[in-house]
Amino acid sequence: KAGVTQTPRYLIKTRGQQVTLSCSPISGHRSVSWYQQTPGQGLQFLFEYFSETQRNKGNFPGRFSGRQFSNSRSEMNVSTLELGDSALYLCASSLKDPLPGAQYFGPGTRLLVL
Amino acid sequence: DQQVKQNSPSLSVQEGRISILNCDYTNSMFDYFLWYKKYPAEGPTFLISISSIKDKNEDGRFTVFLNKSAKHLSLHIVPSQPGDSAVYFCAASGAGGSQGNLIFGKGTKLSVKP
């Protein structure tokens, strides 16, 4: 069974631009969560989607948004990029409810904002 | 304010000895605690979890201890192996909603020396 895949793996953008990251969950998984990892703040929860609906949201500004498609694939978008948005963005999927330990993480997309 | 804290950014242990990684939390509403292991260029991998109604959970070489009164948990790895060298994240879930929202500590980098 293929794992969680994220594209692209690496991305370089400049301040003010926008970016879209993609996540394909494990086949059959319907819940997708997104996290941001930075050296200073560690891993922080962005949002979680289930059945195309945002079910939970972390404490990030409105520039960060996401969506989930009917095939459970998810995208996250960051508009008006800032230098501080440079981070590793991780996606995690689970079957239905993201029960503890049942979330599987992808390898992440490393975003560098110049 | 950090709800989950890992106060030791790094830990070095000799192969065969015990590794003890510590984690403190502030929110008494958390109902599950998890440990993830992360290698460079990979997403976190679930290691072991513990429910707040238990005080110990064991899985092979890995044991997690929970002290609710002290709001403290620890991960014991016995015996430590060089392949255990990675960053270990403590995470908590359950407070205020979906378990898709994991609150992570900033991680402890474990180095196991041969």
Calculate ∠ Cα A65-A66-A67, nearest 5°: 145
Report the gap between the CA of A99 and the closest CA in chain B (Å): 6
| Residues B46, A75: Cα–Cα separation, whole Å | 23
Per-residue pLDDT of chain A (114 residues), as tens digits, is: 679 999 999 999 999 999 999 999 999 998 899 999 988 888 899 999 998 999 888 889 999 999 999 999 999 999 999 999 999 999 999 876 656 666 889 999 999 999
**Under a CB-based contact definition with an 8 Å cutoff, are residues A53 and A43 in contact?**
no
With an 8 Å Cβ cutoff, are A44 and B104 in contact?
Answer: yes
* Helix (H/G/I), strand (E/B), else coil: B23: strand
pLDDT of B52 strictly over 60 = yes
Cis peptide before A25 (omega within 30 of 0): no
pLDDT of B100 strictly over 70 = no
Interface of B with A in 26-85 (CB under 8 A): 32-34, 36, 41-46, 48-49, 51
Question: A22 - beta bridge partners?
Answer: A7, A75
Q: What is the pLDDT of residues B4-45, one digit of tens each?
A: 999 999 999 999 999 999 999 998 888 889 999 999 878 999
With an 8 Å Cβ cutoff, are B99 and A41 in contact?
Answer: no
